[in-house]
Structure formats: structure tokens, C-alpha cells
């Protein structure tokens, strides 16, 4: 629970201080934070699909769904992140079997998925704004929107076998953090 590493806010510290006054017999702050961190990152017993869904962040724009998940292996993510300087992600390219997807290792671990959401929202908005044609339907040169959607669906479904975007979200098993 250190403000210097960017994982806590002044508001978090304020509430922890109030709790410490109300409950003076609580264990030390760092011990509690350590236990919470351990529970948060304990993915033992979770399937790959459950790991992807755990604490997933999702945005929607004009029928397009972008989800960001944290798991403990390489992730394949949107190319727009590679160009990000605010926040600086310090991405290193990793190999990918899909030509339209790029995988990266994130060097700046202080940038959380919540901090990435505005960047992705801006990228989606810019994409749709630049692709408008008079009828209001997005279109790319020589590629229809339907072709792009089919390719994205095919690629995303091949990343997680058995997971369909049309199915309801499967429930996660109970953990201390969800």
C-alpha cells in the first residue's frame, strides 16, 4: 500500500488510516496489504478462461467490445498500445501466430488495465470517427466492416477455445478478491 509505486491512491491511504484508528489491534498495514496481494494474485485452481475473466476490464464502442485481462503469460493485445507514450507502457514485441494480432510483454508494470482504458476508448473513437462514410457506417478501403468483424471474432475465439462472445459469462469460483 505504497503511493510511490502507483497501486494506491491518497483516498486509499485516508481510509486505511481511519480503519487503523477504529481498530488499533489490526495487524500492520504492510502485513494486511501483503495478504491481500497474495490472495489477489492466487490463480491456483483457475482455468485459462477463468484467469482471463478474473478482474477483466471491458469497454464498448459502436458494437465493438474490447476487453483487457491480466494473466500470468503472454497476452495478445491491440497494436495501438505499442505506440502509447502516455502512459508509457515499455512494450517488447513477442511472437504471435495471428497476422492481425500482436503480442507484447509490458515493461512498465505500474500502468494498470484501468489506466489503459482511456487509451483504448480514444483509439476506438478515433477509428470510428476516421472511418465514417456518408451513411454513417464505418468502412475501410477494400475491406468491409463485416470482414473486419469476422476476422476479429475468428482471432479472438481462437485465442480462447470454447469461449464465445455470444455466450453468457461463466461464473468465477469464489476467491477472496471476487
Q: pLDDT, tens digit, for every residue of 160-177?
A: 334 334 444 555 556 555
β-strand pairing of 91-94 with 57-61: unpaired
pLDDT tens-digit readout, 6-37: 777 888 888 888 988 999 998 888 888 888 87
Strand partners, 93: 104
Would you call 118 helix, strand, or coil by DSSP?
helix
Shared-domain flag, residues 76 and 20? no
What average pLDDT does the structure give for the chain?
A: 69
pLDDT tens-digit readout, 97-149: 766 555 677 888 888 878 878 887 777 677 666 655 444 444 444 445 555 45
pLDDT above 80: residue 66? yes
Report the phi/psi class of residue 90: left, alpha or beta, with left for phi > 0 and alpha for psi in -120 to 50.
left
The DSSP result for 149-176, as a single string, is HHHHHHHHHHHSTT--TTSPPPPPPP-T
pLDDT at 76: 34
Once rounded to an integer, what is the mean pLDDT over residues 64-83?
A: 62
How much is the pTM? Answer: 0.36
Shared-domain flag, residues 63 and 121? yes
Residue written as grid cell 483457475:
46
Shared-domain flag, residues 136 and 153? yes
What domain count does the chain have?
2
Q: pLDDT class for 52, splitting at 50, 70, 90?
A: confident
The dihedrals phi and psi of 64, each to the nearest 5 degrees, come to -100, 130
Q: What is the CATH number of the domain that holds 77?
A: 3.10.310
Once rounded to an integer, what is the mean pLDDT over residues 70-74?
A: 49
Range of the domain at 35: 3-40
Amino acid at each position: 500500500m505504497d503511493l510511490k509505486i502507483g497501486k494506491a491512491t491518497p483516498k486509499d491511504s485516508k481510509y486505511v488510516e481511519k480503519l487503523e484508528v477504529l481498530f488499533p489491534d489490526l495487524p500492520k498495514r504492510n502485513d494486511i496489504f501483503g495478504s491481500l496481494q497474495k490472495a489477489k494474485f492466487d490463480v491456483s485452481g483457475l482455468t485459462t478462461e477463468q484467469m482471463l475473466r478474473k478482474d477483466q476490464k471491458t469497454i464498448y464502442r459502436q458494437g465493438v467490445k474490447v476487453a483487457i485481462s491480466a494473466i500470468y503469460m503472454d497476452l495478445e493485445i491491440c497494436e495501438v498500445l505499442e505506440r502509447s507514450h502516455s502512459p508509457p507502457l515499455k512494450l517488447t514485441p513477442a511472437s504471435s501466430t495471428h497476422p492481425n494480432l500482436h503480442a507484447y510483454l509490458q515493461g512498465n508494470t505500474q500502468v494498470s488495465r484501468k489506466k489503459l482504458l482511456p487509451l483504448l476508448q480514444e483509439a476506438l473513437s478515433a477509428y470510428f470517427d476516421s472511418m465514417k462514410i456518408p451513411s454513417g457506417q464505418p468502412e475501410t478501403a477494400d475491406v468491409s466492416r463485416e470482414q473486419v468483424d469476422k476476422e476479429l471474432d475468428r482471432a479472438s475465439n481462437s485465442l480462447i477455445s470454447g469461449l464465445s462472445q455470444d455466450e453468457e459469462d461463466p461464473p468465477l469460483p469464489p476467491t477472496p478478491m471476487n
